[in-house]
Amino acid sequence: MLVLLAAGQGTRFGGPKQLAAVHPSGACLAQFSVGDAAQAGARAAVLVVREEHLPLWTAKSWPIPVFFVIQDAARGTADALRLGLSRAVALGADSVMVGNADDYYGGLWESGRSWVEVGTNAALAYPLSKVCSRHGPVNRAILQVDRSSFLTGIVEHFGLEPADAERLQDPPVSMNAWVLQASTLDWWPSAAQNPGEFGIPEAIEVGLRNGISVAVDPRGSEWLGLTYAQDLDRVQAYFSQRKMDHL
């Protein structure tokens, strides 16, 4: 099952970027991600959305059953993921693939499926050089990895630009693409322990302190995202050549 986080405010973009049309048909990134996940074997998806956008989401076409969960306040991505995972588990999922609705991950869900099949938590990572914006600084969660390719820490870095990838030796980063088991709900915190936004990196750090294991899969290569309004032209140019057969 796929869980997509689609309740963000889109402050830098200037509006609900998760719903921005990226294809001449009007399809948004989430529709392509759900389609790709379906081709990788996902049988259903859960989208965490804002209440005022629910009619727009339910009006869209989907290749597999899609269930919606409302995040009724801007409590951060960790809260949104807890809501989405809870719904997926209630629907019978033993493990889920997770992503953002305003990111496009290409064939990454094929990698995710391999971790779902073995029942292992995994961070589906990209090199930093692949996930910067040409139009302004971005925030990225850099993954710290041991010699056995397991996660030892996750640190949010702010204001990163393309030149920082070389400066930092192009480390693996999380774009909120994960494979998580149903047992994640046993240790996932319900609220932030530190001031500021309750983000997924903080929640994952809680899990690491509690002894969970997270494999780091560095095979992420194809990525497109919407951070700034200027990113939209590039994303639309890419999807203008895509067929909608799977939607």
Instruction: Please tell me the total count of domains within the chain.
Output: 1
Is 247 a member of any domain?
no
Do the beta carbons of residue 139 and residue 231 sit within 8 Å? no
Average pLDDT in the 20-40 region? 95
Instruction: Write the CB contacts of 24 (distance below 8 Å, at least 6 apart in sequence).
Output: 240
Average pLDDT in the 38-49 region? 97
Instruction: Write the CB contacts of 191 (distance below 8 Å, at least 6 apart in sequence).
Output: 75, 79, 198
Q: Which residue range(s) make up the domain with 172? A: 2-239
Q: What digits encode the pLDDT tens for the residues 73-98? A: 888 999 999 999 999 999 999 999 99
Classify the C-alpha dihedral 185-188-191-196 as positive or negative: negative
pLDDT at 247 exceeding the cut of 60: no
- Distance (Å, rounded) from C-alpha 212 to C-alpha 121? 9
Is 39 a member of any domain?
yes
pLDDT at 13 exceeding the cut of 70: no
What global pTM score does this model have?
0.93
CATH assignment at residue 47: 3.90.550.10
- Distance (Å, rounded) from C-alpha 18 to C-alpha 126? 21
Is 245 a member of any domain?
no
Q: What are phi and psi of 118, to 5 degrees?
A: -100, 0
Nearest partner of 239 among 225, 219, 228, 227, judged by Cα: 225
Please report which confidence band the pLDDT of residue 11 belongs to, taking 50, 70 and 90 as the band edges: low
Is 198 a member of any domain?
yes
Is 244 a member of any domain?
no
Q: What digits encode the pLDDT tens for the residues 124-169? A: 999 999 999 888 899 999 999 999 999 999 999 999 999 999 999 9
Is 246 a member of any domain?
no
pLDDT at 188 exceeding the cut of 70: yes
